[in-house]
C-alpha cells in the first residue's frame, strides 16, 4: 500500500483526509461507524470564546449540487470545548485541529492563548467572520485586517497556525500572501461562497439570515482554481477543500497544490465519505505505481 503520510505546518498526519469544521462536530456521532484514528485529523466545530446560540432557523437549505448554510457558529464556547470535547478527542489517535473564530482581533487572540498548553495539534483561524470593529466586514476580505488578526493570533499562541481563507474576495492570492507574511504556518481554502435562494411562493429568502455559505460539489472547480493559484504564490503549505466528494476529487485538488484535504458537505450525504476517500486514494495510488501520496502534491502540468 502507498504511504499516505503528509506534513502540514510541521504536523505529521497519517493520511491527508480531514473532516472540515462544522461538518463533523467533535467526532462523537461517528465513533460508532469507524475508529476516528482512520482519519488524518479532525477540524472541530468552529469554536468562539463564549457560547453562541447561532442564527435563527431556517438556516440550512439544499441547492442543486450543494447546500446553503447560515448556522452562525453555534457552539458551547471555548471552556466547554477545552474541558469536555478535547479530553475525549485526545484519546482517539487522530490529529486535532481547533477551528476558532471571533468578532474582534482581541477576541481571536484571547481564544488562541487559551488553547496553548492543550492537546490541540493545530489552530485553524477562520477569517470569514465579520469584524465588528471594522463595520461588520469579514476579516478575510481585506489584506491589512487579515494580516493583523493573523499576527495577533500568532503572537498569542505557540501552536501551528493555519488560516482559513474566504473565496468572497477580489484576489485570494493577496490575502494568502498577507497572512503568510504575518506568521501563518499554512492556509486552508476555500471556505463557502456567499449564496442565496428565494422561495417564490412566499417571496422570502429560504434562509432566515437571507444569505448563506454555498458548499458541495458545485463549488469544487472554484476550489481547485483557487488552491492552484495560492499554492503557486506562497511558500507555506495549503490544505484544500470545497466540494471534495470522492477520492478522485481529493487527488485532483492535491495535484493543484494541496498538501492535505478537508471534506465537508459530502459527509452529510454519506457519513462514511472520509474513509471511502482514504481507501479510494490508496487504491488509485497503488494502481498507478505511486509509492507516496506526497508525489502528487502540485503535480499538475499547466499548458
Q: Which domain holds residue 102?
A: 6-55+70-195+215-296
**63: in domain:** no
Residues above pLDDT 90, as percent of the chain: 96
Work out the average pLDDT over 148-160: 98
Q: In the chain, what is the greatest distance between 2 CA atoms, to the nearest angstrom?
A: 56
Query: If 0-12 CB within 10 Å is exposed, 13-18 middle and 19+ buried, where does residue 166 land?
Result: buried
The confidence score (pLDDT) of residue 36 equals: 98
9 beta partners: none
Work out the average pLDDT over 282-301: 98
**22: in domain:** yes
The confidence score (pLDDT) of residue 255 equals: 98
pLDDT in tens, 164-183: 999 999 999 999 999 999 99
| CA distances in angstroms from 94 to 35, 189, 282, listed in the order given | 10, 21, 18
Query: What string of H, E and C letters represents the secondary structure of the chain?
Result: CCECCEEECCEEECCCEEECCCCCCCCHHHCCCCCHHHCCEEECCCECCCCECCCCCCCEEEECCEEEECCCCCECCHHHHHHHHHHHHCCCCCEEEEEECCCCHHHHHHHHHHHCCCCCCEEEEECCCECHHHCCCEHHHCHHHHHHHHHHHHHHCCCCEEEECCCCCCCHHHHHHHHHHCCCCEEEECCCEEECCEECCCCEECCCCCCEEEECHHHHHHHHHHHHHHHCCCCCCEEECCCCCCHHHHHHHHHCCCCEEEECCHHHHCCCHHHHHHHHHHHHHHHCCCCEHHHHCCCCCCC
Distance CA 211, CA 197 (A): 8
Distance CA 142, CA 270 (A): 36
**119: in domain:** yes
Contacts of residue 216, defined as CB under 8 A and 6 or more positions apart, other chains included, come to 63, 65, 66, 67, 243, 245, 265, 266
**208: in domain:** no
Which of 32, 108, 129, 239 is the catalytic position? 129
**30: in domain:** yes
204 beta partners: 199
pLDDT band at 128 (very low <50, low <70, confident <90, very high): confident
Q: What angle do CA 211, 216, 221 make, to 5 degrees?
A: 105
The confidence score (pLDDT) of residue 136 equals: 62
Contacts of residue 51, defined as CB under 8 A and 6 or more positions apart, other chains included, come to 75, 76, 77, 80
Catalytic site residue 32? no
The confidence score (pLDDT) of residue 129 equals: 76
pLDDT in tens, 189-210: 999 999 999 999 999 999 999 9
Whether residue 297 has a cis bond before it, omega within 30° of 0: no
**142: in domain:** yes
**65: in domain:** no
Q: Specify the CATH number for the domain of residue 249.
A: 3.20.20.70
Distance CA 274, CA 270 (A): 9
The confidence score (pLDDT) of residue 130 equals: 67
pLDDT at 135 over 70: no
**232: in domain:** yes
pLDDT in tens, 30-55: 999 999 999 999 999 999 999 999 99
Task: Judge contact between 266 and 273, C-beta under 8 A.
Answer: yes
Sign of CA dihedral 129, 133, 134, 136: positive
pLDDT band at 260 (very low <50, low <70, confident <90, very high): very high
The total number of structural domains that make up the chain: 1
The confidence score (pLDDT) of residue 132 equals: 61
Task: Judge contact between 175 and 233, C-beta under 8 A.
Answer: no
Amino acid at each position: 500500500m502507498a504511504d499516505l503520510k503528509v506534513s502540514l505546518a510541521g504536523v505529521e498526519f497519517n493520511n491527508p483526509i480531514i473532516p472540515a469544521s462544522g461538518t463533523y462536530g467533535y467526532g462523537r456521532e461517528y465513533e460508532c461507524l469507524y475508529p476516528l484514528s482512520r482519519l488524518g485529523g479532525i477540524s472541530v466545530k468552529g469554536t468562539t470564546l463564549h457560547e453562541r446560540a447561532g442564527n435563527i432557523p431556517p438556516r440550512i437549505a439544499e441547492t442543486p449540487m450543494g447546500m446553503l448554510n447560515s448556522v452562525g457558529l453555534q457552539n458551547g464556547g471555548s471552556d466547554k470545548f477545552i474541558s469536555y470535547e478535547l479530553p475525549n478527542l485526545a484519546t482517539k489517535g487522530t490529529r486535532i485541529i481547533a477551528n476558532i473564530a471571533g468578532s474582534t482581533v482581541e477576541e481571536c487572540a484571547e481564544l488562541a492563548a487559551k488553547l496553548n498548553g492543550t492537546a490541540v495539534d493545530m489552530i485553524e483561524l477562520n477569517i470569514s467572520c465579520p469584524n465588528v470593529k471594522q463595520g461588520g466586514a469579514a476579516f478575510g476580505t481585506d489584506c491589512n485586517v487579515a494580516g493583523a488578526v493573523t499576527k495577533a493570533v500568532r503572537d498569542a499562541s505557540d501552536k501551528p497556525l493555519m488560516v482559513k481563507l474566504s473565496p468572497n474576495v477580489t484576489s485570494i492570492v493577496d490575502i494568502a500572501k498577507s497572512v503568510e507574511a504575518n506568521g501563518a504556518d499554512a492556509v486552508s481554502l476555500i471556505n463557502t461562497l456567499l449564496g442565496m435562494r428565494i422561495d417564490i411562493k412566499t417571496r422570502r429568502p429560504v434562509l432566515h439570515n437571507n444569505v448563506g455559505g454555498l458548499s458541495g460539489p458545485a463549488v469544487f472547480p472554484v476550489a481547485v482554481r483557487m488552491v492552484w493559484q495560492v499554492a503557486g504564490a506562497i511558500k507555506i503549505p495549503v490544505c484544500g477543500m470545497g466540494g471534495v466528494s470522492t477520492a478522485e476529487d481529493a487527488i485532483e485538488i492535491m495535484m493543484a497544490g494541496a498538501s492535505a484535504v478537508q471534506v465537508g458537505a459530502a459527509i452529510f450525504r454519506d457519513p462514511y465519505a472520509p474513509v471511502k476517500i482514504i481507501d479510494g486514494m490508496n487504491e488509485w495510488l497503488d494502481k498507478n505505481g505511486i509509492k507516496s501520496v506526497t508525489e502528487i502534491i502540485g503535480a499538475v502540468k499547466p499548458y
